[in-house]
Amino acid sequence: QALEEADGVVAHAARKLQMRRTTLVEKLRKYGLQRANEMA
C-alpha cells in the first residue's frame, strides 16, 4: 500500500515506512512483489 501511495517510488515508500530503501527492496524481492511501474 505504501508503494502504491508513493506511485511506485521505492525511496518515497521506504521513507513513509521509516526504513532504508535497500531494506524495502530486499523485502519486495523476498515476497515477490513488484513496483507499480513494473506491473504494466
User: Which tens digits make up the pLDDT trace of 1-40?
Assistant: 888 899 889 999 999 999 999 999 999 999 988 765 555 4
Instruction: Specify the pLDDT at position 34.
Output: 74
**pTM (predicted TM-score):** 0.75
Residues spanned by the domain of 18:
2-38
Q: What SS3 class is residue 16? A: helix
DSSP-derived letter for residue 4 is H
Instruction: Specify the pLDDT at position 1.
Output: 85
C-alpha cell at 3: 508503494
CA Rg value for the chain: 9
Instruction: Specify the pLDDT at position 39.
Output: 52
Please state the domain count of the chain.
1
